[in-house]
Amino acid sequence: MNNKSNEKPHSVGHNPRHQCLIYDGPPSQQLPAIAATIKQKLEEGHRCLYLNSRPMVAGLRSCLATIGLDVESELAKNRLILSSEPIVSADGGLDVDLLLQKLEDTLDQALKDGYQGLWATGDMTWEFGSEKNFHKLMEYEYRLEALFHRRKELHGICQYHQDTLPREASKQALRTHPTLFINETLSRLNPNYVPPAD
């Protein structure tokens, strides 16, 4: 992550659930930390969901195999879900209601299947596709944070690639995430976080 602040990262005392990863440079550089986090969350009893483009999904599979995860077995057992299928409305646009409903449905199914919860991560550039409506992004993130408040079994990381998103999107991200993801063992409390209204 490209941290412009002079403040040094530190471990978050509690288990951070809704995190933000803001970074520059090739997205592939983030895959080792994401893969290590997925392996950790699987070991803790979570179902893991990764949403991104086909090349990034392929790269993650490779990273997971490198660190000793039997990817095919995890996929077959449905403990691990890797998807490059965008969640869009019937007209092909971003549907915030649909996106949040599918996420909560996936969480409910994970709990029904006996998991501790759902850990999910997605790249915001990929999730929003060609629709660059960042008012919807702000709406999505605030409503997602409200969902995290309501559903304690949900964990995840929203990925913001600054090379492909306007700077305003990163500023919005800082307002809607309580913690910043540094790596699989380190998070930083976000001083810019604004909790959602009840």
Q: pLDDT tens digits, residue range 105-146?
A: 999 999 999 999 999 999 988 776 655 666 788 888 889 999
> Model-level pTM greater than 0.85?
yes
pLDDT in tens, 21-32: 999 999 999 999
Task: Give the model confidence (pLDDT) of 84-100 as tens digits.
Answer: 987 766 666 678 898 89
pLDDT in tens, 134-193: 678 888 888 999 999 999 999 999 999 988 888 888 888 899 999 999 999 999 999 999
Main-chain phi, psi angles of 181, to 5 degrees: -80, 125
